[in-house]
C-alpha cells in the first residue's frame, strides 16, 4: 500500500511536536518544490499539471496543508504552522510569477524571430511586362511620320454618320458603305455609331485648322465583320492627311516610298495600284515588294512578289467643300493603314485573334 502523502496527514500524525520540527518540515517541502520547479520545461501541458499539483484550489498541496496541517494543529503549534505556511505560499507565488514571465518572454521571442523581416534576402521580382505588339507597331509608325513633320491627333470612337460617311463624300446608299457596316448606339440609330475608320478625323481636323495640315490619327475602329483568322469586330488604324497649297502627286508618292523603306527596310520597293475611295481622287493601293522573299515570290506574297500595304490617294476636292477649304488653291494626300495587318505582316503572325487574347506566351515573343 503506498504511503499516504504527508500533506494528507495532520501535524500530529506526522509526529511533529515542536516549532523547530514544523520549520524543518516546511524547509523540506520548500526544497522539494524548488527541485521540481527547476526541472519544469516550457511545455504548456506539464506546466499546467505542475500548477494544479501545487496551487490547485481543492487538492493542490497548498490547500491541503491549510486543510490538514493548519486547521487541526495543536494550539501551541498553530502560530508556527500558520507563519511557515504563509512564508511558503509567498515563496511559491514568487517562483511561479518568475517562471510565468520567463515563459512569456520566450514565446515573445519566437514570435519576433518568426516575424522578423530579413532585409538581406532577395526580393520578389515583379515582371514589368512589355509594350503590346500593336503598341510597338504604332510607335514605329508614329516615329516615321513624326520625323517628316506630321503630328499625332486622336478623335472619338463614337461618331456621327456625318463625319464617318457624308463629309467623306460617302452619301447614304453609296455602295462604299456596304463593307463598312458597323455598330449603332442603341436608340440613336441615326445619330451615333462606332467609327468604321479613322478618316472622320480628316474632317474634324480641317474644320478646326487652316492649312497647312500634316496629321496622323492612330485609333481603334469597328466593323460588323464575322470573326476569323484575319477579321474581328474591332481593329486598329492609322490615318494620314497632308493638305497645303502646293502638294503634288510626287509629294504623295515620295512620302509613301519613304515610309515603306523606313518600315520594311531600304531594299523595299513601292508600287501604286489604281483603286477607289470616295474621299480620294485618284485613289491607290500601296503595295511593297514582299519582305520575306524580296520580290521573287513565295508563300507569304502568294507568289506575286508584292504585298498589299494600305489605301491612299490625293484628297478628293469634294471633301474640301465640306470643310470650307478652297479646292481651287489647296491640294493634298491621305492614307489609311491597318495597323494589325502591318504588324501581322512584319512579324509573320497568321492569326489576328492572338493579338487580343493577351496570352503571355505570345506576348513574350515581342519583348
Ligand atoms: N478609310 C479607309 C478604310 O478604312 C482607308 C483609307 C483609304 C483611308 C484611303 C484614307 C485613304 O485616308 O486615302 O478602308
Write the pLDDT tens digit of every residue in 203-248: 999 999 999 999 999 999 999 888 888 888 999 999 999 999 999 9
Which strands, in side-by-side order, build the sheet including 306-315?
151-152, 213-222, 234-244, 331-338, 306-315, 280-289, 270-277
Average pLDDT, the chain: 91
**Would you say residue 361 has pLDDT above 70?**
yes
How far is the centre of ligand 1, averaged over its atoms, from the C-alpha of 95 (Å)?
A: 93
**Which atom of ligand 1 sits closest to the CA of residue 241?**
12
Q: Over range 157-163, report the average pLDDT.
A: 95
Burial class (CB in 10 A: 0-12, 13-18, 19+), 287: buried
Ligand 1 atom nearest the C-alpha of 198 is 1
Model pLDDT for residues 100-157, shown as the tens digit of each residue: 888 788 888 888 888 888 888 888 888 888 899 999 999 999 999 999 999 999 999 9
- What does the pLDDT look like over 281-339, one tens digit per residue? 999 999 999 988 888 999 888 899 999 999 999 999 999 999 999 999 999 999 999 99
Q: Which residue has the higher pLDDT, 265 or 117?
A: 265
| Cα of 335 from ligand 1 centre, angstroms | 6
Can you tell me which residue has the cell 508563300? Answer: 299
- What is the pLDDT, as a whole number, of residue 116? 84
Query: In the structure, which protein residues have their CB atom closer than 6 angstroms to any atom of ligand 1?
Result: 197, 199, 239, 277, 280, 311-313, 334-336
Provide the H-helix boundaries in 116-211. 133-146, 161-164, 200-208
Distance CA 295, CA 268 (A): 9
Q: How far is the CA of 142 from the centre of ligand 1 (A)?
A: 17
| Position in ligand 1 atom list of the atom nearest CA 280 | 13
Q: Residue 354 C-alpha to ligand 1 middle, in angstroms?
A: 25
Q: How far is the CA of 263 from the centre of ligand 1 (A)?
A: 19
pTM of the model: 0.67
What is the distance in A from the centroid of ligand 1 to the CA of 238? 9
Q: Which helix (H) or strand (E) holds 152?
A: strand 151-152
Closest C-alpha to 332, from 274, 238, 246: 246
Q: What is the pLDDT of residue 296?
A: 92
Cell (9 digits) for 135: 503598341
To test the ligand 1 pocket, which listed residue (159, 217, 277) has its Cβ within 8 A of the most ligand atoms?
A: 277
Give residue 168's pLDDT.
Answer: 97
Give the residue from 26, 20, 17, 15 showing the smallest Cα distance to 66.
26
Residue found by looking up cell 483603286 in the block: 275
Q: Is 50 exceeded by the pLDDT of residue 1?
A: no
Q: How many CB atoms lie within 10 A of CB 213?
A: 22
CB 88 within 8 A of CB 28: no
Instruction: Check residue 71 and report its DSSP letter.
Output: T
The protein residue with its alpha carbon nearest to ligand 1, atom 3, reads: 197
Average pLDDT over residues 26-51: 86
Percentage of the chain with pLDDT > 70? 98
Amino acid at each position: 500500500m503506498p504511503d499516504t502523502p504527508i500533506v494528507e496527514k495532520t501535524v500530529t500524525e506526522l509526529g511533529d511536536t515542536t516549532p523547530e520540527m514544523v520549520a524543518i518540515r516546511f524547509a523540506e517541502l520548500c526544497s522539494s518544490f524548488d527541485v521540481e520547479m527547476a526541472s519544469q520545461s516550457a511545455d504548456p501541458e506539464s506546466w499546467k499539471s505542475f500548477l494544479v499539483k501545487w496551487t490547485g484550489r481543492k487538492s493542490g498541496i497548498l490547500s491541503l496543508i491549510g486543510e490538514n496541517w493548519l486547521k487541526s494543529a495543536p494550539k501551541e503549534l498553530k502560530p508556527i504552522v500558520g507563519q511557515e505556511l504563509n512564508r511558503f505560499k509567498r515563496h511559491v507565488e514568487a517562483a511561479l510569477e518568475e517562471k510565468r514571465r520567463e515563459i512569456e518572454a520566450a514565446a515573445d521571442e519566437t514570435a519576433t524571430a518568426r516575424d522578423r523581416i530579413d532585409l538581406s534576402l532577395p526580393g520578389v521580382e515583379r515582371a514589368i511586362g512589355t509594350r503590346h505588339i500593336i503598341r510597338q507597331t504604332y510607335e514605329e509608325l508614329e516615329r516615321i511620320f513624326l520625323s517628316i513633320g506630321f503630328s499625332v491627333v486622336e478623335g472619338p470612337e463614337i461618331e456621327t454618320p456625318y463625319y464617318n460617311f457624308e463629309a467623306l463624300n460617302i452619301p447614304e446608299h453609296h455602295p462604299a458603305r456596304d463593307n463598312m457596316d458597323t455598330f449603332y448606339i442603341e436608340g440613336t440609330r441615326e445619330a451615333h455609331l462606332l467609327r468604321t475608320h479613322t478618316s472622320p478625323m480628316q474632317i474634324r481636323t480641317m474644320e478646326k485648322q487652316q492649312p497647312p495640315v500634316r496629321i496622323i490619327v492612330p485609333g481603334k475602329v469597328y466593323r460588323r465583320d464575322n470573326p476569323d483568322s484575319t477579321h474581328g469586330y474591332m481593329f486598329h488604324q492609322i490615318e494620314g492627311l497632308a493638305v497645303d497649297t502646293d502638294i503634288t502627286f510626287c509629294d504623295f508618292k515620295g512620302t509613301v516610298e519613304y515610309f515603306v523603306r523606313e518600315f520594311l527596310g531600304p531594299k523595299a520597293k513601292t508600287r501604286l495600284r489604281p483603286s477607289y475611295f470616295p474621299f480620294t481622287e485618284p485613289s491607290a493601293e500601296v503595295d511593297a515588294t514582299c519582305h520575306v522573299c524580296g520580290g521573287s515570290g513565295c508563300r507569304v506574297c502568294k507568289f506575286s512578289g508584292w504585298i498589299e500595304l494600305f489605301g491612299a490617294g490625293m484628297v478628293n476636292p469634294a471633301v474640301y467643300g465640306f470643310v470650307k477649304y478652297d479646292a481651287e488653291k489647296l491640294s493634298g494626300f491621305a492614307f489609311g493603314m491597318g495597323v494589325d495587318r502591318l504588324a501581322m505582316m512584319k512579324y509573320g503572325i497568321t492569326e489576328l485573334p492572338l493579338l487580343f487574347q493577351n496570352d503571355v506566351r505570345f506576348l513574350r515573343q515581342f519583348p
